[in-house]
Amino acid sequence: MQIEIDEIAKSFGSTTALHPVSLSIPSGALVALLGPSGSGKTTLLRILGGLEYPTSGRVCFDGQDATGLSVQDRRAGFVFQSYALFRHMTVFENIAYGLKARPRASRPPKAEIARRVTRLLQLIQLPEIGPRYPTQLSGGQRQRVALARALAIEPRMLLLDEPFGALDAKVRKELRQGLRDIHDETGLTTVFVTHDQDEAMELADLVVVMSGSQAGGRIEQVGRPQDIRARPATPFVRDFITA
């Protein structure tokens, strides 16, 4: 699905989180929002997911205005920084949650839900952990379960907030490849937020470099990793990617 961000701005009270930004994300792309803290990258992701409402501007999905679309109707698979797994549910129940929460008319039958959950557990290469509780999993396993849970609702796009932030270096490397594989397999338009330029450069097709200031976050440069490396558009980008 193609995403169009049109002059989106966001302020919380007197502080401005996002200066008006515009961005076009082609269908099926794997995009990194890269920037230091305070650059508004998470705010932008949350606006895409419907968790925040922009102060001004529009978001369009496949050419249609989706700014006022409620989070429930948006069908954006969202992976949270803390993973936000439901602690009182097993892994199986976590993944099945989005399907069971559907209105009765569009809810798949039980057997179908079980089949889909099993398939997703295979996709994240953890076929055995269905009956376990989140507290019994390692950090990397939790992240993958969060990803499977987001995929279960057959999302139109995948949004990930610092997906590897809480993991150690070795697991991080493995999971990067895992995300790449899942993206290639599903073909979903995927946007992830990171402050780690290696991660952005290695994983994404398209990198959006953002910077923060008193006037709010803004987009410094959008481009393929190799282009950004070769031709940083502003001094900020040059400093940030060589840091």
Beta carbon nearer to other proteins, 75 or 238: 75
Contact between 74 and other proteins (CB under 8 A)?
A: yes
Least distance to other proteins from the beta carbon of 53, Å?
Answer: 4
186 close to 24: Cβ distance less than 8 angstroms: no
Interaction of residue 135 with other proteins, rule CB under 8 A: yes
73 touching other proteins, by CB under 8 A? yes
Q: Is 18 in the site for other proteins (CB under 8 A)?
A: no
CA 185, 186, 188, 194 dihedral sign is negative
Is 105 exposed, middle or buried (CB count within 10 Å of its CB: 0-12, 13-18, 19+)?
exposed
User: Shortest Cβ distance from residue 216 to other proteins (Å)?
Assistant: 20
Number of residues that bind other proteins (CB under 8 A): 46
| 11 is an interface residue for other proteins by CB under 8 A | no
Interactions with other proteins, residue window 167-206 (CB under 8 A): 186-188
Q: Which is nearer to other proteins, 20 or 80 (CB)?
A: 80
Q: DSSP letter string over 87-152?
A: TTS-HHHHHHHHHHTS-GGGPPPHHHHHHHHHHHHHHTT-TT-TTS-GGGS-HHHHHHHHHHHHHH
Q: Does 58 bind other proteins (CB under 8 A)?
A: no
Residue selected from 41, 142, 149, 172 as contacting other proteins according to rule CB under 8 A: 149
153 part of the interface to other proteins, by CB under 8 A:
yes
Q: Which of 9, 78, 145, 179 binds other proteins (CB under 8 A)?
A: 78
CA distances from 157 to 45, 77, 135, 199 (A): 11, 6, 28, 20
Phi (first) and psi of residue 78, to 5 degrees: -115, 125
Note the residues at the interface with other proteins (CB under 8 A): 1, 27, 49-51, 53, 61, 64-78, 80-82, 84-88, 97-98, 101-102, 133, 135, 149-150, 152-156, 186-188
